A and B are shown apart, each in its own frame.
Chain A
Amino acid sequence: MGIGTYLALAAVLFGIGATGFLTRRNMLIQLMSIELMLNSVNVVLLAFNRVYPGNHDGQVFAFFVIAVAAAEAAVGLAILIAYYRIKKTIDTDDATLLKY
């Protein structure tokens, strides 16, 4: 298995995440789709670091991506709960709080 297989797989996983983010209205599932996209980026970083293993730059970057994803999930779910308190739904079509 060459690096091209890993890159193609990462592209497919990113596409799955992007499709989920664009076609779903459930805010929970949209947040999960963001996690899918962040994970696919980690695959690319680790695959390239495996090809050039002289340093750990890709793995360090993937480490920071994981940390940022954790922070993003915490804040995103907090926003989701605040939104649910106001609207009693998590349908993103009803997110018109800034519109009027």
Chain B
Amino acid sequence: MTDPGTILFVTTSILAMAGGLATISSRRPLRAAIGLLVHIVSLAGMFLTLHAQLLAALQLLVYAGAIVVLFVFVIMLIGPASEVEAIQGRLASRALSIAATVAIVLAVSTSVAYFDAPWGFVSENFGTVEGLGTAIYTEALVPFEVISITLLVAIIGAIAVARSRTE
């Protein structure tokens, strides 16, 4: 119970759940963005316990460095209108959606929690820049090129959708 991996996993899992709950329960979007940041940073720590060093770094770069900042920029751009008042009424549908989600999550998590498999033997470059980079550039080269085109299309699409049409 006291080995560092377990301590890191327990800490990051508690922080990840707390960050997620803060994200979905905050009325102010900026607090939700901070909750998302906590969630993402703790998940990056959890990736380290799974021997995914490169993905932990990418998680910090892409999510904490780009996506959360993008959210904060949009919150600042929109200003006070970024707060939406809480839902009035419709208790039945809200309770039903929450109850259905909780039931599904309980069923899935209690059934998979007893699934056990030994951790495999990890080679030296598993999850490092060298190992994962080799895998991406040899086995997944075509998807890698496709995803780069997808990102380019997303950039152009974001500019086209969000640009002002007043002039």
The residues of A with any CB-CB pair to B shorter than 8 Å are 1-9, 11-20, 22-26, 28-29, 31-33, 35-36, 39, 42-43, 46-47, 49-57, 59-60, 62-64, 66-75, 77-82, 84-85, 88-91
Cα–Cα, bound, A78→B139 (Å): 33
Could you tell me if B112 and A7 are in contact, using CB atoms closer than 8 angstroms? yes
What 1/0 mask marks residues of chain B from 82 to 107 whose CB sits below 8 Å from any chain A CB? 11100100000010011001101100
Could you tell me if B105 and A3 are in contact, using CB atoms closer than 8 angstroms? no
Question: Inside 8 A of A74's CB, which chain B residues have their CB?
Answer: 70, 154-155, 158
Could you tell me if A53 and B51 are in contact, using CB atoms closer than 8 angstroms? yes
Could you tell me if A17 and B24 are in contact, using CB atoms closer than 8 angstroms? yes
Question: Inside 8 A of B49's CB, which chain A residues have their CB?
Answer: 1
What 1/0 mask marks residues of chain B from 130 to 155 whose CB sits below 8 Å from any chain A CB? 01100110011001000100110111
Also in contact, A36 and B23, with CB within 8 A (given A51-B120, A75-B157)? yes
Whole-angstrom distance between the Cβ of A46 and the nearest chain B Cβ: 5
Could you tell me if A4 and B147 are in contact, using CB atoms closer than 8 angstroms? no
Question: Inside 8 A of B123's CB, which chain A residues have their CB?
Answer: 53
Provide 21 A-B residue pairs closer than 8 Å at the C-beta atoms, listed in order of the A residue. Answer: A2-B115, A6-B50, A12-B17, A15-B109, A22-B101, A25-B84, A31-B71, A32-B23, A39-B63, A42-B47, A54-B120, A62-B52, A66-B63, A68-B147, A70-B62, A73-B67, A74-B70, A78-B158, A84-B81, A90-B81, A90-B82
Whole-angstrom distance between the Cβ of B35 and the nearest chain A Cβ: 8
Whole-angstrom distance between the Cβ of B166 and the nearest chain A Cβ: 9
Task: Name which of B13, B151, B155 has the most chain A CB atoms within 10 A of its CB.
Answer: B13
Contact for A28 among B54, B74, B143, B155, CB less than 8 A: B74
Also in contact, A63 and B58, with CB within 8 A (given A3-B115, A15-B102, A19-B101)? yes
Could you tell me if A59 and B70 are in contact, using CB atoms closer than 8 angstroms? no
